[in-house]
A and B are shown apart, each in its own frame.
Chain A
């Protein structure tokens, strides 16, 4: 077995192993959580090694099983997937740190189930990131759906169960009724579903067939929460904060947009996308999603609901990027996937930290809290600015690239939606931090801590790391864009403004 095969096997086996072990030692919380952290670190190292190998032009490959000729469970790392794997595994580690503080601070029940399902979800993410064909991606996509269902319904209340039902029905329904027929269509047209640089279907379909397949595959990936299949995301906010943080800012929703990016890059290819009328329709839907979601976010008083709606909008950015008939759009989409993950996980962790310390979950209850919890709200401010896309936060680069790419291809509607939503996010996110840090004179006294000592230390450390990452990534944008460039088969510097 070559080193590359071993790396992919490890990336798949480590989370699975972590799931079994955390389940087995469930009665000893300290051991359980130590092992989770060890697994996170090990997985991050493996993911980074895969990332490096891809960068050196030696992508690891692995063929796991082939039930039928032409239908295989196979893996091959490529830039976008390697980046996704690194992002997910590193953020899993940081988020586990946060979970430990949050879950203990809230004395949540069923913590073992929580950590076990988390690890299985990471198994799904690694499979999605490394999948070499649509079929493999589909299988792991479903693993992720089913592994996260118990996390969404964690509290077991009727509201949680209702959210879980919507979650399962929307995601499974869309993937079976739309995504799977799309896969079968691709297989029928091309005789394979392998991700091929330049586009598997390029030159093999007419615009009508191509449009049908594109619509099936993009809307079938309901984890990308493109309207009208976005309803599950705000409903899934009944989950505990760490679940929302990792799954609904990083793993689940990013698996959705990652799928969209993969489909547009490797199944259709930029050349084919530019000839498909459906790509333009999806751009319009995405633009509508961006603006509508931002407007709804403004009306939400519940902080997590507001963040969820903001996520719906931000995901539509990436879907737009995938549909822009320009290769640099794909790079921008890949970058935004990472930058938004860092910012949104910070925001969710802040929401969780505020909730643990003070019991406040509504924006209107948070006035003046910045004085009591300065670290949390400074982190919140940094991450909000990253979402808005102001320098020196990483979010700026991807937004800039996206807006230029959409102007460059004449998609003024997309550009307008992007600019409008940035303005709106300034209002619905940054204002929260300002009101907490600099309360207007006349506001009542801020809330008291309900938990002695406020936010648990591990939770605080975790959210400070990701907030710092939002700034550090600002400087890393160029190397990352260069890393992603081969996937779009373009020279990034030439197409950049």
Chain B
């Protein structure tokens, strides 16, 4: 049982500035990494900057549990003139996830980049990686709708380049990155157009102000159009079915580090922003908001769960299977979301963390395998558990969490969504979730069966156990999935207080 409110990880003066440090340190680290003399040096910078970022995120999380909401004014200028960071438990939770996965990913990159990315690109790669982290943390910390756009683009530009860096191993990374770039930019453009509409209607970019003013306004066509643009734009970024076309390619062909980082954090940050708009900015009782949740988001989420799980079942390439499974899992998250209750949102937030950790584990394990063999198709992994038992074990733990095995975080996540769905009388959701879980059992069962029970194909290249620099972050990630499956207090308190915060704002 960890009581975050009683957790002081940094001296008070540092804690006071932790919100901005969590963004600035990775940002400055990105500059330093770009200028570093060698790939090795940029790796060291990347690890240190990510670690400091994660540490600051933890300090912020403790502070948020004590203060409920932190408002940090950059340079001491009050909004609307100045820029303010406004952090609640929901943002703190996401930042913690980004920091943790970023740090472990940075450690892991020491070995995996050597295998997957051209040596002369390492410094720029690490710079892009830090930039993406800084952008995402900024996105979840900011209280300003336009700044959110800026941070979204900062992180996206980083990730477009990072996906493309996978071209050394897989040329398909280039079209995938281009695809991702076009779709991502479209999404961001839609978002900023929507923010423009809202600015026109309310005259403010600060989300809290926007919420206050929208509550007194008539629901004009401009507000509704703004809502539609924002939801569509963020839906693209979050890979909401059927706007997920860019995702399988980007996850399957980019470098392992980017697959794991994107899967764990990037789509999740877009989901976070959508939650902010849906439950905080738009006024309570906005008929179009409710209708959207019930008649658009929930059915699309259900379709994602069923269709993309089925696509995962019928894929033959392992990373593609996991990528499709990610879209399906986003569907689970949106299901919890569309319940539009504090319990549902809290469950969805918890699911975000659970899914981030499990997918990061699985992609990192695949990255571990990729260091010694270039296997891609599922059948190439036959019997790999004999050669690399620890990596395979971590993969299996991630897979177990994905299926929802008790004592893993995935189980508690599904459990809470089901409870929230039943409490709100949406029994059909339980049926959808059961069907999705059954499909997950099938495709995960296939992966585990091939890895653990199939004999290696004679003459195939032999895999080796991952080096210690990969195993340590990998087992930590897998361990977190299990630890939070037994003692969920740490993510649970943030998710609950974050969801409760959003739902008590509504009058």
Contact = CB atoms under 8 A, between A and B. Distances in A.
Interface stretch (A18-26, A64-72, A107-115, A405-413): A64-72
B453 to A, nearest CB: 7
B453 A71 contact: no
A71 B489 CA distance: 13
A161 interface: yes
B418 A139 contact: no
Contacts of B434: 181
B487 A71 contact: no
Interface centre among A139, A176, A187 (most CB of B within 10 A): A176
A67 B418 contact: no
B441 A176 contact: yes
Interface in B354-383: none
B485 interface: yes
Contact of A161 (B407, B438, B441, B453): B453
A71 B486 contact: no
Contacts of A161: 453
A138 interface: yes
Interface centre among B406, B416, B418, B422 (most CB of A within 10 A): B406
Contacts of B485: 67
Nearest to A153: B453
Given A138-B406, A165-B453, A65 B486 contact: yes
A188 B486 contact: no
A139 B453 contact: no
A270 B434 CA distance: 30
B387 interface: no
Interface centre among A138, A142, A184 (most CB of B within 10 A): A184
A177 interface: yes
Interface string B289-317: 00000000000000000000000000000
Interface string A235-247: 0000000000000
B209 interface: no
A181 B437 CA distance: 11
B219 interface: no
Interface in A118-155: 135, 138-139, 142
Interface string B434-454: 100110010000000000010
Nearest to A168: B453
Nearest to B488: A67
Given A142-B406, A165-B453, A177 B418 contact: no
Contacts of B438: 177
A68 B489 CA distance: 8
Secondary structure dominating the interface of B: helix
Secondary structure dominating the interface of A: helix
Interface in A57-83: 65, 67-68, 71, 73
Contacts of B487: 65, 67
B181 to A, nearest CB: 40
B418 A184 contact: yes
Interface in A185-238: 187-188
A188 B422 contact: yes
Interface string B482-497: 0001111000100000
15 contacts: A68-B416, A71-B412, A73-B486, A135-B406, A138-B406, A142-B405, A161-B453, A176-B403, A176-B441, A177-B441, A181-B434, A184-B418, A187-B419, A188-B419, A188-B430
Given A68-B492, A188-B422, 15 more contacts: A67-B485, A67-B487, A67-B488, A68-B412, A68-B415, A71-B412, A71-B415, A73-B486, A138-B406, A142-B406, A173-B441, A176-B403, A177-B438, A188-B419, A188-B430
Which A-B residue pairs are the 9 nearest by beta carbons? A188-B422, A67-B488, A139-B406, A65-B486, A67-B412, A68-B412, A176-B441, A67-B486, A184-B418
